[in-house]
Amino acid sequence: MADDIFADATAFGFETRAIRAGQRHDAATGAVVTPISLATTFVQEEPGVHRGYEYSRTNNPTRQALQECLASLEGAAHGLAFASGMSAEDTLLRTLSPGDHIVLGNDAYGGTFRLISAILAPAGIEWSAADLTDPAELRAAMRPETKVVWIETPTNPLLTVVDIAAIAEVTHAGGAKLVVDNTFATPYLQQPLNQGADVVVHSTTKYCGGHSDVVGGFVATNDTELAERLAYLQNAIGAVGSPFDNYLTLRGLKTLAVRMDRHCENARAVVDLLLGSDKVTHVLYPGLPDHRGHEAASRQMKDFGGMVSFRVKGGADAAMRLTTTTEVFSLAESLGAVESLIEHPGVMTHASAAGSEL
């Protein structure tokens, strides 16, 4: 990114970098839109000598543009794009060895929990859950073998807010790396690397893509050694998106700032509606002054996000009925796109966590 002036966060604002970072005008035609490079292989001038691209699994011009752009938005020196958020997480956690230990927030996304508990644990990776809103809880959960502390903030689905700087201090004192899933906040609202995190992960399927038409994942870091290891694994495993997928995500990033402003505005309107309903018992939203994480969210987030969780009178049966009777909100998994969606996490996205300590 050294030759890309638009990657410099000190010289250009978020919105400009979302449109220009990594997205050079096409040298052949002058096209202002990053081309979709469909080539699977690239001509070499002599064996082993090429122009930065040899095989599209290893590197691809469209993917490179996406990687540079989103890394810039996260304030990261390095960024790697993957075929999904889960493949990004899986590749990152493959840097661990049997016997290593992960501390996972006790309000984790179901897919992350499944990956760690059902796939990595049988392979020898140890894990435990803790309330990461309390640094003392993390301190008690840390072991000499702890290599990773994994947090989401805000969390999916309870919108718990974790103080990134406070948890980073405890994590680093224990010799571990802090990974932050920034999917709900996006780099527009929150930049964990600036708060002390070592790695940021995203499901770019959500707000970054923003249109319910592309699945993707991302890892950002300032750790050059880790980035080199991840690039090796990215190529060796091959869980990368197609050039068209990368293009769609890159297109989505161009409007991320304006979309997030509107998402936040709409969320506040939904919160006001729910607070006025006698059928709602609890509204979980970091923007509410009585939210447990409101103070931390006010410090580390630009705004409070577009997600709202709530509980209704009548328990699970009433919640299930509600999800099937809305007219404007569609019953579907995922989030962060232009449609308004509603779901029941315990039955849908978090079913894999049922009966666990999460």
Where in the sequence numbering do the catalytic residues fall? 57, 109, 181, 206
Strands 199-203 and 217-221: antiparallel
Q: How far apart are CA 76 and CA 9, in angstroms?
A: 10
31 C-beta neighbours (distance < 10 Å), count: 10
Contact 93, 149 (CB under 8 A): no
Contact 30, 91 (CB under 8 A): no
The C-alpha angle with vertex 235 and arms to 230 and 236, in degrees rounded to 5, equals 95
Contacts by 250-253 with C-beta closer than 8 Å and gap 24+?
A: 250/23, 250/34, 250/62, 250/65, 250/66, 250/69, 252/204, 252/208, 252/209, 252/210, 252/211, 252/214, 253/18, 253/66, 253/69, 253/70, 253/73, 253/208
Backbone angles phi, psi at 156, to 5 degrees: -110, 115
Strands 78-82 and 217-221: antiparallel
Amino acid at 91: T
Contact 65, 75 (CB under 8 A): no
Strands 341-342 and 330-331: parallel
* Residue from 357, 354, 282, 84 nearest 202 by CA: 84
The three-class DSSP label of residue 285 is: coil
Measured CA distances, 313 to 317, 341, 345, 351, 353 (Å): 9, 20, 17, 22, 23
Q: What is the chain's Cα-based Rg?
A: 21
Under 8 Å CB-to-CB from 193, ≥6 apart: which residues?
Answer: 74, 75, 76, 200, 220, 221, 222
